[in-house]
Amino acid sequence: MSIPTGRDLLPRRAGRPSLAGAGTWGLVAQFPAPLEAAYVEGVTTMRGTLPPGSPDYVYVPVDVPPGVRELRVSYNYDRPSVPPGTPGNALDIGLFDERGTELGGKGFRGWSGGARTEFFVRADDATPGYLPGPIRPGTWHIALGPYTVAPQGLSYELTVTLTHGEPGETPEPVYPPTRAKGRGRAWYRGDCHLHTWYSDGRRTPAEVAALARAAGLDFINSSDHNTHSSHPHWASAAGDDLLIMLGEEVTTRNGHVLALGTDPGTFVDWRYRARDNRWATYARRIHSAGGLVVPAHPHATCVGCGWKFGFGEADAVEVWNGPWTPDDEVTLAEWDNMLVASVREGRDWIPAMGNSDAHRNPDVVGMPQTVVLAEDLTREAIQDGIRAGRSYVAESKNVSLSFTASADDRAAGPGERLEVDRETPVTVRLEAAGAPRCTIRLVTDQGVLFTSEPLPVAGSGVAEWRTTACYAAYVRAELRHEAAVGPVPGVMAGFTNPVFLGRLAK
């Protein structure tokens, strides 16, 4: 397939030399500004057209002279009619400063995707999604991301306004603490996939934090799309009762991944595809910044949402995302297949978690939520619990699970191993609360081997099942609502990570 060049995409601007070069899908490429440009003092309007097959990111240069106090950009683009089943036009936007557009470089100044039609940056302030800081002279770049392009092409208009004046002072960032007042070793509830108005959400950090408290959460993680601009705005929302971790939803064209609990101010680039062989570099970037790598909604059906990078670098996987839907059912099945492969091949397994991915009303913060057994309510302790799989997922604060496998006087819970001989009898026990008329299912590497009668209307009950390590290499539990369609089980109310049975091979 031929890739259009920069000259094909954006004609060179009158009066300046062309910077055209070969376009690429996932790599950074420089492109000239459009031919059509109207000038007023301090204001430039540029128009251009991107054809189908455009690179993932197109960079329009903006010359910024000395003395500029504020840079403001507005844009619009056409949305022609398209045949049924054909994607129409969708154009994302962001900004890089004079330090350049190099992948993983220091030039990033903000990203709003398709959530806003205009933005500004100054030394003392910026539109949510963008970073305040000095407006230094040099060549800046507006990043255009043609998410989808109609068969007719995508025609756009950019208006850049440069305002001169004395620069303001950039505020010193203040970040939330890395610990809250915990209960020592205990079960803590959290939601690690949340959006604010710093990307495409409609809630402020304060509003998200208030909803988290109402949902009974002990911890949350900030995960705005492709920007860390919200990080300094969470400190006032934290408290002894709520640990706020910082991160990013790294939103590539081949899937999304949560950078969970990274160091404050950490930016993780997203401008690559699976075939570019760059993902491992950015997974290491997340780990080196103290974060966890968690592929998000890996089987979501939105354009670019399906996870194509594999799970080799993952610390956990988001099996349940928002209200339970068929793509969550598919992810659950794939995760269970990975569990089977891990015990068959004797390799590490990947724990599951669930998050709300809440953006705006009526999205419910804390539906679902991951309940983690941690030594304390600190960033590191919560991350350790998630990484170890000492956790279960519940649809709300009302659902509580206690899951163990025991033999003799020994017991193990989610994420742990009960070391027993192959023929030693093992008792698997699930205590459930807050789940009226739900059914308990116990799942092993051989499939579903136990299904209970529905719990009473009061919502509490106990299920016990006996097995051996010879019969089940692991056991995990599901709590399902009673409504089911044919062979499809009911909507999930909660599920656990597995307990492994048997001795590890020497």
State pLDDT tens for residues 317-342. Answer: 999 999 999 999 999 999 999 999 99
The list of the chain residues with pLDDT below 50 reads 1-33, 35, 39
Element (H, E) at 329: helix 326-345
The pLDDT assigned to 40 comes to: 55
The pLDDT assigned to 485 comes to: 59
The pLDDT assigned to 489 comes to: 86
State pLDDT tens for residues 128-161. Answer: 999 999 999 999 999 999 999 999 999 999 999 9
Q: 232 — phi, psi (to 5°)?
A: -75, 0
The pLDDT assigned to 482 comes to: 86
Look at residue 280 and give its three-state secondary structure: helix
Q: What percent of the chain has pLDDT over 70?
A: 91
Widest Cα–Cα separation across the chain: 84
Q: Is the pTM of this model over 0.75?
A: yes
CA 387 to centroid of chain Cα atoms: 16
Query: CA-CA distance, 370 to 401, in Å (whole number)?
Result: 11
Residues 6+ apart with CB under 8 A from 483: 490, 491
Evaluate whether 165 touches 69 at the Cβ level (below 8 Å): yes
The pLDDT assigned to 29 comes to: 40
The pLDDT assigned to 180 comes to: 98
The pLDDT assigned to 258 comes to: 98
The pLDDT assigned to 374 comes to: 98
State pLDDT tens for residues 477-499. Answer: 999 998 765 667 899 999 999 99
The pLDDT assigned to 483 comes to: 75
DSSP label at residue 488? B
Count other C-beta atoms under 10 Å from residue 357's C-beta.
26
